[in-house]
A and B are shown apart, each in its own frame.
Chain A
Amino acid sequence: MSGAIRFMRKLAIFFGRKKFRSDLDEEMALHREMAAKELVAEGMRPDEARYAAMRRFGNATRVQEHSQEAVGFRMETVEQDLRFALRQLRKNPGFAATAILILMLGIASSVAIFAFVDAALIKPLPYKDPSRLVQLFESIPLGPRFHLSYPDYLDWKRANKSFSSLDVFSSSGFMQKTPAGLRQADGARVSAGFFRTLGVTPVLGRDFYDGEDAAGPARAVLLSYAAWQKRYGGSKAVLGQSVVLDGDTYAIIGVLPREFHFEPAEPVDFWGIEKPTGGCEKNRGCHNLFGVARLKDGVTFDAAMADIKTIAKNLEKQYPDSNRDQVAFMLPLTEVIVGDIRPILLTVLCGSGLLLLIASVNVASLLLVRAESRRREMAVRGALGASPKRLVRQFVTEGMLLASIGCVLGVACAEWGMRLLSELIPKDMMASMPFLHGLGLNGRVTAFACMLAVLAGLLFAFTPMVRLKFTEIREGLTEGGRGAAGLVWRRFGSNLVVIELATAMVLLAGAGLLGKSFYRLLHVNIGLQPDHIAMVHVEAQPEKYKDDAAQSALAREIARRVASLPGVQSVGITTKLPIEDADWTTDFRIVGRPDRGEHREAAIRRVTSGYMTTLKTTLRSGRYFTEDDNGSHQQVIILNKEFARQYFPGEDPVGKQLSFDDKNPPILIVGLIDDIQEGQLDAKPRAAMYGPFYQDANSGFEVLARTSQDDRTLLPAMESTLESIDPGMAIYAPMTMDEKIHDAPSTYLHRSSAWLVGGFAGMALLLSVVGLYGVIAYSVSQRTREIGVRMALGAERGSVYGMVLGEAGRLIAVGVIAGSAAAVGAAMLIRNLLFGVQAWDVPTLLAVALVLAFAAVAASFLPARRAASVSPAEALRTE
C-alpha cells in the first residue's frame, strides 16, 4: 500500500519538477539567510557572514541534485543524461557519424555472416536425432565416396547388426510428360523406409508402406513442399492426382513438410520408390545408390563402421567379380551435408571477426581521442560540483546512445545484406543448399546481434573512462595538461592503428591471393578450347531405341542435321561432358600383362569421331576415331595421357591392347590425347579412356557443336532441330561450354571466395584508413602549439609536412610489415583454396602492400596539409 502511495508521490513530484526545484531553492535560501543572521548576531560583518553561511551550506546545486535523486525516479536523471548526450552528438556530428558508421558496418557484416553460418552449420537438420544418422558409401581405389549397388544394399540391410534401419536413395531426375512435351523434373528414388529412417512424416497424405518397394509396378510418389506450392498451388486436392514420369503413371500419395530438405539428393520435386526391377538394380556390379542408416541405440559410429566393413569383406569373398576391392565406408550425415562448406564458412566468419576487431579498435581510438579533448570540460564540471558518479554516468549514457543507434542501423543493414547475399547466389546453388532457405533473423541470430550490441555498448561506454580520471581536476585545468601519461596514451592510440593496418594487410593479401588463384583457375589447361561450343543434352526413349544400331542411327542423324546448321564447323557426341566429375568408370585389364589380381579402373566415355575435333583436343600419338570405328569393326579405344602415365610409363600405348572381360575380344589402343579435364577445373588428372560411340551406344548423350558464330544463339536452333528429329526425345540443359565452366561448382567456389574476401578487404582498408586519419589528425591537433612555435621560429611548411608524414610513415611501415608476416601465416591456412598460387606469392604481397601504403599515405596527407597551413599566431593563441 505504501509502495503505491510512494509511487504516486514520486509521480507528483515528477510532474511538478519546476515547482519542486524553486521551492527547494527558496527553502535553502532562507536557511542561508538565517544562518548568516546568526553569525551577524555573533559579531561577524554582514557580508562576511553571508559568505560564511554560503560556504558552510555547501554546494547548493549538489544539494538540489541529491534531493531530487532521493525522491525522483531513476529515469529522471537518465532522461537528463540522454538529452545532454544528444546535444553533445549534435555538436560533434563528424565524430558521431563516423563512430556510428563504423559500428554499423562491423555489426552488419558480422550478423549477416553469422546468419549464414547459423543456417548452414548450427541450425539442426530437419530429421529426428540427426546425429545418429549416417550415409553409406562404397569406397574403391579411385576414391572413398562411390555408390552402392542394389544387391549389395539388400545384403547390407540383412546382415548388419548396428543399424535400426538402413535405406537407400539415388538422385536421378525424371522425364515428366507435360502438355508441352517431355520436360526434365528434379527427382530422387528412395527405398520404402527412407523417410522413416530420417524420422520425417508427410504433412499431407501418407508415407510409403514398408514393402512398397518390392518388385511390382511402382505407382506412388511423394511431393516436396516447394513442388507442391509451385506446381499445384498448395491445393489439398493434389492427393491422388497422377503424373507421368519416365513413361509410367504415378499417383501422388503425400506431401513432405516445409522444413524438410535432403541435401545429398536436392533439388528434388518428386520422391519415387527405388524398385529392384530396373536393369541396374539387378546387377551387383552396377552402382547407383547411396545409403542412409540410423545407428541403433548404444552402438557407436566406429562399431557400426567395423560392422559394415566386415559385411563388405564377406561380399567381396562371395562375389569376387563384382565386388573386388570394394570396401564399405560411412560418414555421419551431418558431416556429409555441411562438411564441404564448413571450411569456407568458418574462414568467412574469421574474416568478419577480424573486421569487427578493426571496427572496434577504430571506434575505441576515436573515443579515446574525444575523451582527451574533453578533459578540461570534465575538470570544470567536477569543480562545479558534478560528482564523479554523475560524470561517469554521463559518459556511459553517451556511449550507450551511440552504441544503440549503431546497432539498430547495423541490424537493419544486416537484414538488407542477407537478402542481397541470397540474391547473389545462383539459383541452382541455392537449390542444392536448401538449408539456406530459412535465412534471416531467427532466435539465435538475434541473440548474437544482442550480444554484439551489449559488447559494443560496453566498449563505447567504458573506453573513454580509461583516459579520464575524474578526481584529477587540477591536472585537467592546468595549461596544456599533457604530462607523461598523455604521451603514453597517444602512443597507445597509434599502436592500435598499427594493428588495424596489419589486419587490413592480411585481408588484402588474402583477397589478392584468392583473386590470383581464381584467375589461374580460369586459365588452367583443360585440354580443350571452350570457346564457341554449344551443347544440349538428349534423352531418347529407351523403348524406342532399344539397341546399339538404333541408337547409333539416331546419333548419326542428329550429327548430320546439326552439322548442317549455319555456322556449325563440327559436331560431336559424348556420353558425359567434361568439367563435371570423373565418374562413370569401368574395370579393365591390359592384354599381355599378367593379371596379378590388381584392380584397374578408369573413367570411360563413348564419343563420336567429331567429339575431339569439336573440342579441339591435342593428339599426342596415333589417331582419332573415324566413321569406320563402328560396331562391325575392331573395337578401338583412345587413352588420355594420365592413363598412359599410370599404366604405360615410358612407352607409347598405341598399338597395345586392353580388355574389359574375358567374354569380349580385346580392344586396340589407337590414339593418345592430352588430358581433358573430366572433373572440376582444379581436380587432379584422372586416367580416362574414350571409346567410339557407335561401338557401344546409349540412348542418352550430349550433342556438342562448334560454331564460327555466337555459340549462345546457336542453342535454340539446335534444340528445335533435335525436337524435329524426334519430338518424343527429352531435350534439356542447353548451354555453352564457357557457361558450363563459368557456373561449375569449383569455379563458383573460387569466384565467390575471392569476392567475399575482397569485400572484407575493401572494408578493412576503408576502416584502417579512417583510423589512421583519426590518429594523425588527433596528433596534429595536440601539437598545434608546437607547430605554431616552430613556424614562428622560421620552420618551412615543407618541414611540417615532413614531420607529420614521417610520423604517419612510421606507423604505416610497421603496420604493413607486421601485416605481411601475418598475411603469409594466414595464407597458409587457406592454402587448400589456392590454386596455382603459393601462400607466400611475392608479387601479390608486394602489390597489396603498395596499395595499402598508398591509401594510408593519402589519408595522412589531409592532416599534414592542415598542419602545414596553421598560422603561427592562431596556433599560439589557442591555449
Chain B
Amino acid sequence: MAKKPELLPGTLDMLILRTLKRAPLHGYGIAQSIKRLSDDVLTVEEGSLYPALQRLLLQGWVKAEWKMTETNRRARFYTLTTAGRKQLGLEVSQFEEMIAAIGRVLSEPA
C-alpha cells in the first residue's frame, strides 16, 4: 500500500483554525474532524497536534476551556477567537494564492 500523503508543512495551523471555525472542539475531536472531512486522506499526527494547539493558544488565535463531554469526562475545548478568525482568513488567502500559482505552472501545455 502506498504511503499516506503527509500533511503539507505549515498547513496544520490553518486546518485546525478552519475546523474550530465551525464549532468548538477538543483535541481528539479536531483530529477526527479533519480525518473525516478529508475522507481519510489527511491524518493529523497527535504528536504535532498538541504542540500546534499550544502554539495557537500562545498566539491568541484560539482560547481553551475545560468543559464536560457528553460522556461526562473533563476535556479541554478550543474556540476560535476574533484574532484567530482574521488569521484564518489570511492563511487561507495565502494558501489559495499558492495553489493557483502551482496550478498555473502545472497546467502549462507540455
Residues of A within 8 A of B (CB): 2, 5-6, 9-10, 13, 23-24, 26-28, 30-31, 33-35, 56-59, 62-63, 66-67, 69-71
Contact = CB atoms under 8 A, between A and B. Distances in A.
15 contacts: A9-B60, A13-B58, A26-B74, A27-B50, A27-B76, A28-B50, A30-B73, A30-B75, A31-B26, A56-B46, A58-B45, A63-B46, A63-B47, A66-B50, A67-B53
Interface centre among A9, A26, A31, A59 (most CB of B within 10 A): A31
B57 A24 contact: no
Q: Is the interface of B mostly helix, strand, loop or mixed?
A: helix
Contacts of B48: 66
Nearest to A30: B75
B109 interface: no
A30 B51 contact: no
Interface string B83-100: 000000000000000000
Contact of B51 (A6, A23, A27, A63): A63
A6 B59 contact: yes
Contacts of A5: 60
B69 to A, nearest CB: 8
A9 B58 contact: yes
B24 interface: no
B46 A69 contact: no
Given A26-B74, A71-B54, A59 B59 contact: no
A57 B48 CA distance: 10
Contacts of A59: 47
Interface size class of B (residues with CB under 8 A): 20 to 34
A658 B50 CA distance: 108
Contacts of B27: 27-28, 30-31
B76 A2 contact: no
Contacts of B51: 63, 66-67, 69-70
Contacts of B55: 70-71
Which 5 residue pairs spanning A and B have beta carbons closest together?
A66-B51, A70-B51, A31-B28, A58-B47, A67-B51
B6 to A, nearest CB: 15
A496 B19 CA distance: 61
Nearest to A62: B47
A6 B58 contact: yes
Contact of B75 (A24, A27, A62, A63): A27
A468 to B, nearest CB: 25
Given A5-B60, A67-B51, A71-B57, A57 B28 contact: no
Nearest to A59: B47
B86 to A, nearest CB: 12
A141 to B, nearest CB: 86
A6 B50 CA distance: 18
A23 to B, nearest CB: 7
A57 B43 CA distance: 12
Contact of B46 (A9, A58, A70, A71): A58
Given A31-B27, A70-B54, A57 B46 contact: yes
B58 A66 contact: no
B49 to A, nearest CB: 8
A33 B28 CA distance: 10
Contacts of A66: 47-48, 50-51
Nearest to A68: B54
A67 B58 contact: no
A39 to B, nearest CB: 13
A71 B52 CA distance: 10
Given A33-B73, A63-B46, A70-B51, 11 more contacts: A6-B60, A9-B60, A23-B76, A26-B74, A27-B26, A27-B27, A31-B31, A58-B45, A59-B47, A66-B47, A70-B54
A52 to B, nearest CB: 13
B16 to A, nearest CB: 13
Residue among B50, B55, B60, B75 having the largest count of chain A Cβ atoms under 10 Å: B50
Contacts of B60: 2, 5-6, 9
